[in-house]
Structure 1
């Protein structure tokens, strides 16, 4: 209890969510929790709860090997239901959707509804650290951002549909998982037809309304050129927060960014007897380049493909002229009008990681919003609560029922 009281005091007094304090708090309560999921992988956690679990290896066109996890509840149906692909948040991996108990985990809930659950992963996570020619010890391995995560998703969609024989899939995107999907659909519009319905939780396409934190990210990773606000093209790339051991150092050096990350780990929505399990699977790593892209998403004309500077942009994309300013050598825009697949938005007014203005911009900008589901009466329902809150039954029931309204029939 001492650690919990200390943490509550820090939250109320300083208004800074200290991840190190959360970790310390979890260590104290872990002694009494006797948590069965401690030390277990995604496969082990799901299998121990009675689900059929499979690991599938996919390879992207640019050489990354990624492991994804398939979960089926064989007691619900003798035949495999339509697939649903899960897109993971930043610093997360497939385990994030099965970390709660059987009745409160989004992945288990979908499997219990007869869906064929495919939990995705991204390059850079523990399940995405293979490459045909590169090693994770090389900076070149970490040359990726959300743009390349869209390539990962494309490979996952292709593999899932080919394996299951269904012409379409449902999709659940939480936080960055939603950005990855919209990026793919704008980059390769033909993939819109492969999604029957996408459900986004805490979604965004830009970071314009959390600019304070993106600026702090830029300063920490030395992404600015001198005193300007222009991102430098030759920043030092490499991994970021690939294990929990780096979390304490990161929080010490960048407490404001750490506070932002910890806000996503809103302790009010987390079962204190499972936070130790959560911290075994968080953070899982990303790249400095991806952090740079989060900064680029705060620009007024975002989102666009990665901005390498005018010279490199011309080499990669051709000499593209900005549609408003007339500036040449800019990256291509990721046009919202190309995202035509039906989308459902789930948003909490207590979510400060993707605030209300971000949600409003998203709802206004996307052309095929089928419905919205807003949580307006829970001011402490933060960003992580979409997957960790213990009273999500109504929301989970809602999106699975919306899936059923657009049935997917298997190709004979």
Structure 2
């Protein structure tokens, strides 16, 4: 185990030190220009914007942002739903403005664009009875609950509000995981999806290389110590923990703003695709909130080699599932048409894991690898060439369904 950790840290060090140094404004974190809300940014771009609220069966109040149509163009009568990844929010889909971000690109083509916010994020940090600041029970969820409760609640609301007969779905990272959870555990929702696009899809994780998740999956200390380091219930890692994680691998290169931002420590980065003018906007909106159990659930995927429900331990598993091990998600039940987009420099969605996923899905329609070898996990939403490599193809696929 020691040698495994040592070789892994050497590998990560080689990745970091090849990065170019960057200069960022000193006031990135407290400059209101960099952290405007999603509705404000949409309105300032000249687009119509709406905010909607739904409540899940277990009491979480979720926020949806909507661009009902382009500035002046007619609607094409198609409804699209965009689901963000972990530690981010609806802002990911509009952060870099018209012509660049997928939300605007689809709106300009006449789509009715809906952007969800998962429980625990900045916009959906609310509950009918629980206070996220004082009630630990608020944070007793992983991405299983987001897939089982949040997505169906938001999609049903959109279907009712728009009267459409089916939704075009784009998910990134955790937004794909939760889609697979929903459509495998509640297969009736497959019929409500016209087509699903998975950007950097995550189900199996045996081959991921994220330094943060790898270290958590290798953890040999007490569970209580680990929980204190990464946040007892809400995922807010101790600064000392992130510093410890990155101290030996970030002495040179891109500096502490990236290395000690938990989103980048978790997902990685590629400066070939991310120009420095974008970084203040990104760190002004991320991390946007998550539960510790979401991170731990992904850590369990690495250790187990399975795509399965949360492992509570033998006793609680027997009570909750009726078995010693948690049940696997049956991906053969995912009958909605699915397209997978993946890259070779992705720290979370390893190529071998995507390949395994592709063989188990019930209705895989296609796989697309990104031509740019430096393209990383976050580049699907943040990359300079995301439109060229990803969004143009998404638009083309939607036009066929």
**TM-score, structure 2 as length reference:** 0.83
Cα distance, 1:36–1:331 mapped onto 2, change above 3 Å: closer
Q: Is the 1:84–1:169 contact (alpha carbons within 8 Å) kept by the matching residues of 2?
A: yes
Cα distance, 1:25–1:66 mapped onto 2, change above 3 Å: farther
Secondary structure, aligned partner of 1:294: helix
Displacement of 1:164: 0.5
Which residue pairs with 2:253 in the alignment? none
Q: Which runs of 5+ in 1 are unaligned?
A: 1-10, 321-328, 407-412
Q: Is the 2:106–2:395 contact (alpha carbons within 8 Å) kept by the matching residues of 1?
A: yes
Which residue pairs with 1:311 in the alignment? 315
Displacement of 1:36: 9.4
Structure 1 counterpart of 2:346, from 346, 351, 365: 351
Secondary structure, aligned partner of 2:299: helix
Displacement of 1:27: 1.9
Displacement of 1:81: 2.6
Residues 276-297 of structure 1: CA deviation (Å, up to 9, x unaligned): 1111111112112112111221
Which residue pairs with 1:121 in the alignment? 117
Which residue pairs with 1:389 in the alignment? 383
Q: Tell me, yes or no, if structure 1 residue 16 matches structure 2 residue 13.
A: no
Structure 2 counterpart of 1:289, from 272, 290, 293: 293
Structure 1 counterpart of 2:368, from 364, 373, 380: 373
Secondary structure, aligned partner of 2:191: helix
Q: Aligned residue pairs: how many?
A: 371
Which residue pairs with 2:393 in the alignment? 398
Which residue pairs with 1:209 in the alignment? 207
Secondary structure, aligned partner of 1:16: helix
Q: Is the 2:209–2:347 contact (alpha carbons within 8 Å) kept by the matching residues of 1?
A: no
Identify which range, 213-222 or 95-104, moves more after superposition.
Answer: 213-222
CA distance in 2 between partners of 1:17 and 1:88 (Å): 29
**TM-score, structure 1 as length reference:** 0.81
Displacement of 1:314: 2.2
Cα distance, 1:249–1:113 mapped onto 2, change above 3 Å: farther
Cα distance, 1:52–1:225 mapped onto 2, change above 3 Å: closer
Q: Is the 2:141–2:294 contact (alpha carbons within 8 Å) kept by the matching residues of 1?
A: yes
Q: Is the 1:29–1:273 contact (alpha carbons within 8 Å) kept by the matching residues of 2?
A: no
Q: Is the 2:204–2:305 contact (alpha carbons within 8 Å) kept by the matching residues of 1?
A: no
Runs of 4 or more consecutive aligned structure 1 residues displaced over 6 Å after TM superposition: none
Give the aligned CA root-mean-square deviation in angstroms: 3.2
Which residue pairs with 1:238 in the alignment? 233
Q: Is the 1:99–1:277 contact (alpha carbons within 8 Å) kept by the matching residues of 2?
A: yes
Which residue pairs with 1:254 in the alignment? 245
1:30-109 matches, cutoff 5 A:
37-75=33-71, 77-79=73-75, 81-109=77-105
Which residue pairs with 2:190 in the alignment? 192
Cα distance, 1:342–1:13 mapped onto 2, change above 3 Å: closer
CA distance in 2 between partners of 1:215 and 1:384 (Å): 18
